[in-house]
Amino acid sequence: MARGRLWKACVIASLTIFQALIKVTFHSYEQINWETCTSSDACLVPANSKNATCGQGSISTYSVHATSSADVVKYVNFATKYNLRIVTKNTGHDYAGRSSGKGGFGLWTHGIKGISRNTTFVPAGSSIAPQDAVTIGAGVQWSDVYQFADDNNIIVVGGDSPNVGAAGGWIQGGGHSVLSQAYGLGVDNLLQATIVTANGVERTINEYQGAIRGGGPGTWGIITSITYKAHPGVPCAWVSISSRFSTVDDNYKLVQKYIEQAPVWADLGGGSFLNILPQSVTFLGVIPNATSVRAKQGLATIEPALPPGSNISYVDAPSFQSFFKATFDVSNEIVGINFALSSRLIPRTYFETDSAGLASALRKGQVFLGSSADVQTIQVLADTPAPKFQRNVTSTTPSWYNSLWHVIYTTAWPSNATVAQQQQLIKGIHDGAQVLRDYSPNSGAYISEADVYEPNHEASFWGTANAARLKTIKAKYDPKNFFQVWQGMDGMALRIRSTSAMLSSTPEMHPLLTSFA
């Protein structure tokens, strides 16, 4: 998606290589900071020369390529026999480097393919009515699922990036979609999964087994397949708006209008993506099963507040795929950059009772982000589910179900930045989001798009009740912690990144993770 789309060209000079690699290469990561382990022990091939000496960086020392469940069982048994820490990698999109791991035993799931539909699917052992459903292999990506869904005139709720995996970290983190207000999070659409646990057994999981429904990625075993609910295909109304003011004050008055409009848009079933810079805002919104008449209704207070020179366009798209192809799919997902983010879920109550206070908190956070306009982006994903989807069977922070905006502060840096410079930028977004943590102390953050230094991460990612339950499940299914990831359940709780394959060896700090330790 558009996470990095505003970065300057100089930051992303060697992009072309990475864009070609991200879909097909074992050891490519969306954000190269998670493969280079800072530049001291890295392998960054310069764009104009392939003659470079390569270090191992954060990349697993030993790696295997699985193409089936049987492969996964075999590799898990091998790893546990030799006491190796298992590092699961699918697409390499994780924002906390959870799919790389120096010294670990890497297991690549990208080759586990397959997509099929069953219009009368009944989850194993369940008595629910037959459902329209789509089953995918662990390595399938959203672009593939969306094409399949479109071909079948159905909707499968998925992520905003075509390249994120549809059955890996996305679903285990919770999985938000621009369609979530209308259809729920990914975890609300999960009918069944198969997973190979540390004892080498492939299990079938469905309703009420909440660990993989938001309990976090890379922690419970290796998912081999996922079955999602399929919804009937519907037309979608979408709208894009861009505006620019000459003063920050005026811009933030408009931001306040967008805040006041957010509950209306959500109640119409809409999701949206906003990019807030100090003097400009862009908005991209979509409402499924609606026409632009409905979209205009949702923006009744915004249109009159736009300054001269603004652009606004409404489109009646025949399908979700038509919307996706015209928007998220073409916004050039930036890969191969050094990147970090920090975030907060903002509950609806603030939108309804304190729009000025919320606008002011967002603005206050923005000033921490740096002096150049390009590094001050606030990205808002209004991808939250309507409260009716809360069935208490998922492990995500309950805040997802009463929030309207998932607010993200981002930063990026060139590969020659010093460790101190990197830490300063990361501290900038951490402090920026801290304004929102202080503002909404009872909310949480999304585990898959959170600050690497998320404070009280268990309460933040899961809530204390879910976290307690997850701890028990972890102790039962992976007592030796073969599957441990950064800020995962009983993973690297001491903020330590193991650099050794052997679980018993002394771990070593990742240089980027030392500044708050």
Ligand X SMILES: *[C@@H]1O[C@H](CO)[C@@H](O)[C@H](O)[C@H]1NC(C)=O
Ligand Y SMILES: Cc1cc2nc3c(=O)[nH]c(=O)nc-3n(C[C@H](O)[C@H](O)[C@H](O)COP(=O)(O)OP(=O)(O)OC[C@H]3O[C@@H](n4cnc5c(N)ncnc54)[C@H](O)[C@@H]3O)c2cc1C
The alpha helices in 82-126, defined as continuous H runs, are none
User: Considering only CA atoms, which of 123, 168, 111, 120 is closest in space to residue 142?
Assistant: 168
Is residue 372 involved in binding ligand X (CB under 6 A)?
no
Amino acid type, 28 = S
Is residue 159 involved in binding ligand Y (CB under 6 A)?
yes
Using alpha carbons only, how large is the chain's radius of gyration in Å? 22
Q: How far apart are CA 312 and CA 310, in angstroms?
A: 7
Interface with ligand X (CB under 6 A), residue from 25, 63, 83, 118: 118
Is residue 89 involved in binding ligand Y (CB under 6 A)?
yes
Instruction: Give Cβ neighbours of residue 87 (< 8 Å, ≥ 6 apart).
Output: 60, 99, 100, 101, 104, 105, 106, 107, 218
120 binds, among ligand Y, ligand X, none (CB under 5 to 8 A by kind): ligand X
Nearer to ligand Y, 150 or 333 (CB): 333
Query: Under rule CB under 6 A, which residues in 394-453 are in contact with ligand X?
Result: 414, 416-418
Interface with ligand Y (CB under 6 A), residue from 6, 44, 187, 223: 223
Are the C-beta atoms of residues 516 and 119 closer than 8 Å to each other?
no
Nearer to ligand X, 158 or 168 (CB): 158
Per-position DSSP letters for 178-223, written without gaps between them: TTHHHH--GGGGEEEEEEE-TTS-EEEE-TT-GGGTTS-TTSS-EE
Tokens of 516: 């708050």
Nearer to ligand Y, 123 or 162 (CB): 162
Query: Under rule CB under 6 A, which residues in 284-343 are in contact with ligand Y?
Result: 333
User: To the nearest whole angstrom, how small is the minimum distance from the Cβ of residue 244 to ligand X?
Assistant: 4
347 strand-pairing partners: 403
Are the C-beta atoms of residues 245 and 279 closer than 8 Å to each other?
yes
Nearer to ligand Y, 165 or 269 (CB): 165
Are the C-beta atoms of residues 244 and 279 closer than 8 Å to each other?
yes
Is residue 478 involved in binding ligand Y (CB under 6 A)?
no
The 3-class SS string of 381-428 reads EECCCCHHHCCCCCCCCHHHHHEEEEEEEEEEECCCCCHHHHHHHHHH
User: To the nearest whole angstrom, how small is the minimum distance from the Cβ of residue 391 to ligand X?
Assistant: 5
Give the interface segment with ligand X, choosing from 146-154, 342-350, 378-386, 387-395 (CB under 6 A). 387-395
Is residue 217 involved in binding ligand Y (CB under 6 A)?
yes
Give the interface segment with ligand Y, choosing from 120-128, 170-178, 372-380, 464-472 (CB under 6 A). 170-178
Give the interface segment with ligand X, choosing from 100-108, 138-146, 213-221, 229-237 (CB under 6 A). 229-237
Question: Could you tell me whether strands 105-108 and 62-65 are parallel, antiparallel, or unpaired per DSSP bridges?
Answer: parallel
Is residue 122 involved in binding ligand X (CB under 6 A)?
yes
Size of the site for ligand X (CB under 6 A): 22
218 binds, among ligand Y, ligand X, none (CB under 5 to 8 A by kind): ligand Y
Q: How far apart are CA 316 and CA 235, in angstroms?
A: 7
Query: Under rule CB under 6 A, which residues in 20-49 are in contact with ligand Y?
Result: 30
Is residue 392 involved in binding ligand X (CB under 6 A)?
yes
Binding residues (CB under 6 A) for ligand X: these are 51, 118, 120-122, 231-232, 234, 242-244, 289, 309-311, 390-392, 414, 416-418
Binding residues (CB under 6 A) for ligand Y: these are 1, 3, 30, 88-95, 98-99, 109, 138, 159-161, 164-165, 168-170, 172-173, 175-176, 217-218, 222-223, 333, 448-449, 485
